């Protein structure tokens, strides 16, 4: 996972230098977003997410999760592992899960398949988990 995260970060830095002259430009993704993309095996989307306005990256990631059941399953497993190992989740993870729950309750929910009610309940429970800084979660992962 660290290799994929490093690869995604390298891709982002190369993309940033390549678009330095671009009037549209992009931004460097925060580590929470990069980590989330790696967790759902979508690190290749890091360059795409760099062109999504920073304020919209959480919503875009939540939409990805809501539309891709396999990605949602991987992401929930990653968040559960963080909760179990670090006794907390990152703010970015919490906000992404809140975005998923919000999408499931919106009119857009008719455009994609909803997971089983117990999965939605579990996601809702995870949004209530304690929030820790990503650095603290990463440090606790290394100890485990």
Domain that holds residue 37: 2-52
Alpha-helical segments (H) within the chain: 2-18, 31-39, 46-50, 57-67, 69-86, 91-104, 117-126, 134-143
Q: Are residues 48 and 69 in the same domain?
A: no
Residue finishing a domain among 52, 71, 88? 52
- The reported pLDDT for the residue numbered 101 is 97
* pTM, full prediction: 0.81
Any idea how long the chain is?
144
Which residues fall within 8 angstroms of residue 8, CB to CB, at 6 or more apart?
Answer: 34, 37, 38, 43, 46
For the chain, residues with pLDDT lower than 50 are 5-12, 14-15, 17-23
Domain count, the chain: 2
Maximum Cα–Cα distance for the chain, whole Å? Answer: 48
Residues 30 and 97 in one domain: no
Same domain, 24 and 86: no
Among 30, 52, 74, residue at a domain's last position: 52
Same domain, 134 and 81: yes
Say yes or no: 68 and 105 in one domain.
yes
> Do the Cβ atoms of 116 and 123 come closer than 8 Å?
no
Q: Are residues 67 and 123 in the same domain?
A: yes
pLDDT digits (tens, 9 = 90+) for 41-55: 999 999 999 999 999
Same domain, 69 and 48: no
Residue 89, classed as helix, strand or coil, is: strand
Q: Are residues 74 and 122 in the same domain?
A: yes
Give yes or no: residues 48 and 72 share one domain. no
Judgement on whether residues 77 and 34 belong to the same structural domain of the protein: no
pLDDT for 27 equals 78
């Amino acid at each position: 996972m660290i290799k994929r995260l490093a690869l995604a970060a390298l891709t982002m830095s190369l993309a940033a230098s390549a678009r330095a002259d671009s009037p549209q430009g992009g931004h460097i993704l925060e580590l929470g977003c990069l980590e989330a993309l790696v967790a759902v095996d979508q690190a290749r989307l890091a360059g795409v997410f760099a062109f999504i306005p920073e304020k919209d990256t959480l919503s875009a990631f939540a939409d990805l999760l809501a539309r891709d059941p396999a990605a949602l399953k991987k992401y929930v497993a990653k968040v559960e592992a963080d909760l179990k190992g670090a006794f907390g989740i990152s703010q970015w993870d919490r906000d992404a899960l809140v975005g998923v729950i919000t999408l499931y309750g919106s009119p857009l929910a008719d455009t994609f398949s909803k997971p089983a009610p117990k999965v939605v309940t579990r996601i809702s429970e995870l949004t209530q988990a304690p929030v820790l800084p990503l650095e603290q979660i990463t440090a606790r992962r290394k100890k485990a």
